[in-house]
A and B are shown apart, each in its own frame.
Chain A
Amino acid sequence: MKPPVRELLRLRNAGFRHRGAPEPVLEGVDLSVREGDRILIRGPSGSGKSTLLQILAGLAPEYVSGALTGTVERLYDSMGVVLQNPEAQVVTPTVEEEVAFSLENDGVEVPEIRRRISGVLDRLGIGGLSERHPLSLSGGECQRVSLAAALAREPDILFLDEPTAYLDRASASSFFEALSKLPARTAVVVVEHRIETAASVCSRAWEVTPRGGLIPSDFRTSPPLSAPPRPSGEAVGPVPPPALEVRGLSHRYGTGAPVLRDVDLVVPAGRVAGLTGPSGCGKTTLLGRIARILPPGPGSIRIAGQDAPARKPAAFHASLMYIPQNPEHLFVAERVREELGLSGDPALELAERFGLAGRLDSNPYRLSEGEKRRLNLCVALAERRPLCLLDEPTYGLDDSARDILVRDIRTLASSGTGVLMVSHDEEFLAAASDVVLRMKDGGIPREEALRAGSLKSA
């Protein structure tokens, strides 16, 4: 006879208002989670999905300031949590200590800790990493360590808050594959934008509505990102002059193996090139070399026909915009109006087109993730520089914000700026780019690089 299925969580009419917020982020939420449930929580960015997960895990309001209303009954004995950013979960200097951390806090005896570490690391295929510093690992490996740390507790329920947001597609699939091997009685509640990947593990879906309610949902995927019309490689017309021309670029850190190997790449003016590839393949290093964040090395870089390394700093700075992964890194003013004003009147005029007209008096740091990205792009467009580099532009964005971003990047390119962007988000790259290049082992296949360079005018 099967043992009865235990209820692990019960929410009745639950709501939550963050400290200082005028409106509650969640309201009237009812939810029951039982052993073995695999639940997907979906919804737009900022709708309160992560807050809901924090309530379920007992972190809000204890560690996340705000007022909780309604009834929350946590009936589970143990739980594990995996958050979005792998770097922000690292506490200890070795993988094995990281996995042991929650067990030590629970007072588990050391021989038992060792047994569980060995078991869970082997199960997730990272047994060979036990003495490594977690921050020395790739994003995918580091997130597996976080999962191992959560699983080592042998939890009744596992809470996952967009655990694959920082991972490439292969790492994300491999993460969910590891989840599918969980004991049948372990419940999983996962907040995830990659619906099709989460569907491989989850059996039920709920959606947080823009009004903060929770309604039953399904695993339907969003309509594909709309790709505005753009010139193809076969289009008639002259090939525009290159905004960026990279020849024979190589790079290595210290005495390590080369990260970039003889990279050739051409991005014509007014065209968008997307660059993807597995974590650690050299994408960000390539951007770092072009933007002079990294020291110079072998190879040549020409921006708008000029030899970039030889240019004087002022001329070099005027030749490109670099929009880093974290949009806040570009902020230099206390108000959006001031931020835009630094790029002249055109930037302020563009604010309306980029949906920022109502936020001109806001502090840039208080904008939503999507608005921060749009502010960056607005500035880039107003600056009218020959080249714009974007590093992972879709982090933290939901489907509708990504859709808007596709249009904004096309607008930027249509002004004559050559755009090179690096992303794990292949669907986004396919929609926004004229050509998508795949980087592997520090190189770009020559035929792909040539294809990028031969994009003609429409």
Chain B
Amino acid sequence: MRDRSSPRNPLAVLFVTVCLLAPVLLSSGYAAPVVYLILGLANLAVLGGIDVPRYARTLLVLSGVSLGLFALNVLAPAEGTDGLARGIAVFLRSVSLISLSVGFIFAVDPYSLVRALMVRLGLEPKVGFALFAGWNTIPLLRRDLGIIEKAQALRLGRRRRTLRDRTNTATALLAGAIRHGERVALSMAARGLDRDTPRTFLKDSPWTRADTLYCVAGFLASGTTSFVLAARGLFAFYLG
């Protein structure tokens, strides 16, 4: 999922992704979502390092949301609208938004993104490293969840879990997470995270000329596509 050798600065990837997302958000109709989806996939191909099967599996799962929106519009259309046409438009738009967003998540290492935000955009290190620690906690929570569920199922002698059982699991998990968070916070404080001195970074988040060119190219590609679609009457402005 993570691509530590990604050639582009995460903030450049974020900028280009926003450039591709914005027109999809602002349009209705069939053409714009499809064209921007193709541009987004091309962008991912340029970036490289994507775990394609996992990306596809994730999209398949999340496309359930798009299908739900489609069904909602077809089965219960708003008054005076063509439910099927509206359903297809909403479906395409949501698939495109999901694909572009998930593509960004798969293309950028979360640690690199947070580091870039700290180094380039002045995100408070306290916030940035709390995000680092939070990300580190996810696999630990997953491990603990498995243990808690099994230990409590064995304790209570049943497999089928009631709402109360799930609440107990959540309580035990939360208690552990809070304690873990307190300890990590103490460790960070002991290592001087709250100091007022200017901070240095061992790993920089360099912004190169190639990043600038990549952003300009992304912006121009998105803008030009919108212009061409609008000129051909295929870009219907819609906010909602």
Residues of A at the B interface (CB closer than 8 Å) are 54, 57, 59, 62-64, 81, 83, 85, 87-93, 96-97, 100-110, 113-114, 117, 135, 149, 159, 291-293, 313-314, 317-318, 320-324, 326, 328-333, 342, 365, 379
Task: Give the distance to chain A from B131, nearest Cβ to Cβ, in Å.
Answer: 10
Residues of B at the A interface (CB closer than 8 Å) are 111, 125, 129, 132-133, 136, 139-140, 144, 146-148, 150-159, 165, 168, 171-172, 175-176, 180, 183-193, 195, 197-203
Cα distance, A292 to B199, chains bound together (Å): 47
Most chain B CB within 10 A, of A83, A313, A331, A342, is at A331
A379 B203 Cβ-Cβ under 8 A: no
Assuming A88-B180, A91-B184, A314-B159, is B153 touching A107 (CB within 8 A)? no
A328 B175 Cβ-Cβ under 8 A: yes
A57 B198 Cβ-Cβ under 8 A: no
B202 A104 Cβ-Cβ under 8 A: yes
Assuming A92-B132, A322-B150, is B202 touching A57 (CB within 8 A)? no
5 A-B residue contacts at CB 8 Å? A88-B180, A110-B202, A135-B140, A317-B159, A333-B168
- Per a CB cutoff under 8 Å, which of A105, A109, A324, A365 touches B192? A105
Cα distance, A114 to B172, chains bound together (Å): 41
Residues of chain A within 8 A of B203, CB atoms compared: 97
Residues of chain B within 8 A of A57, CB atoms compared: 190
Residues of chain A within 8 A of B175, CB atoms compared: 328, 365
- Per a CB cutoff under 8 Å, which of B184, B195, B199 touches A89? B184
Assuming A90-B136, A91-B132, A326-B176, is B154 touching A320 (CB within 8 A)? yes
Cα distance, A398 to B228, chains bound together (Å): 74
Q: A107-B199, A318-B157 are in contact. List 7 more A-B contacts (CB 8 A).
A: A63-B186, A88-B187, A93-B111, A101-B188, A105-B191, A105-B199, A106-B197
Residues of chain B within 8 A of A330, CB atoms compared: 151-152, 155
Residues of chain A within 8 A of B139, CB atoms compared: 135
Interface SS majority for chain A:
mixed
Cα distance, A104 to B197, chains bound together (Å): 10
B183 A83 Cβ-Cβ under 8 A: yes
Assuming A63-B186, A104-B200, A107-B200, is B193 touching A329 (CB within 8 A)? no
Cα distance, A284 to B165, chains bound together (Å): 25
Closest partner residue, chain A, to B185 (CB atom): A63
Residues of chain B within 8 A of A365, CB atoms compared: 175
- Per a CB cutoff under 8 Å, which of B146, B156, B190, B202 touches A342? B156
Cα distance, A379 to B193, chains bound together (Å): 43
Closest 8 CB pairs of A and B: A88-B183, A105-B192, A81-B190, A313-B159, A102-B191, A100-B202, A107-B197, A89-B187
Residues of chain A within 8 A of B129, CB atoms compared: 91-92, 101
B146 A293 Cβ-Cβ under 8 A: yes
Task: Give the distance to chain B from A313, nearest Cβ to Cβ, in Å.
Answer: 4
Closest partner residue, chain B, to A101 (CB atom): B191
- Per a CB cutoff under 8 Å, which of B180, B187, B195 touches A91? B187
- Per a CB cutoff under 8 Å, which of A96, A106, A331 touches B172? A331
Residues of chain A within 8 A of B165, CB atoms compared: 332
Assuming A318-B157, A322-B151, A332-B152, is B190 touching A59 (CB within 8 A)? yes
Cα distance, A62 to B152, chains bound together (Å): 37
Cα distance, A392 to B172, chains bound together (Å): 18
Closest partner residue, chain A, to B140 (CB atom): A87
A291 B154 Cβ-Cβ under 8 A: yes
Task: Give the distance to chain B from A336, nearest Cβ to Cβ, in Å.
Answer: 15
Task: Give the distance to chain A from B215, nearest Cβ to Cβ, in Å.
Answer: 26
- Per a CB cutoff under 8 Å, which of B198, B199, B202 touches A97? B202
Residues of chain A within 8 A of B189, CB atoms compared: 59, 62-63
Assuming A59-B189, A113-B200, is B136 touching A91 (CB within 8 A)? yes
Cα distance, A297 to B133, chains bound together (Å): 34
Assuming A59-B190, A109-B200, A135-B139, is B147 touching A329 (CB within 8 A)? yes
Closest partner residue, chain B, to A107 (CB atom): B197
Cα distance, A331 to B147, chains bound together (Å): 12
B200 A331 Cβ-Cβ under 8 A: no
Residues of chain B within 8 A of A313, CB atoms compared: 158-159
Cα distance, A313 to B157, chains bound together (Å): 9
Cα distance, A330 to B171, chains bound together (Å): 11
Residues of chain B within 8 A of A103, CB atoms compared: 200, 202
B148 A329 Cβ-Cβ under 8 A: yes
Assuming A104-B202, A293-B146, A322-B150, is B191 touching A379 (CB within 8 A)? no
Task: Give the distance to chain B from A286, nearest Cβ to Cβ, in Å.
Answer: 15
Task: Give the distance to chain A from B95, nearest Cβ to Cβ, in Å.
Answer: 32
Assuming A81-B187, A135-B136, A326-B176, is B195 touching A331 (CB within 8 A)? no
B133 A332 Cβ-Cβ under 8 A: no
Task: Give the distance to chain B from A8, nearest Cβ to Cβ, in Å.
Answer: 16
Cα distance, A107 to B111, chains bound together (Å): 21
Most chain B CB within 10 A, of A92, A96, A313, is at A92
Assuming A85-B183, A89-B184, A107-B199, is B190 touching A314 (CB within 8 A)? no
A332 B184 Cβ-Cβ under 8 A: no
Cα distance, A295 to B151, chains bound together (Å): 15
Most chain A CB within 10 A, of B136, B151, B186, B195, is at B151
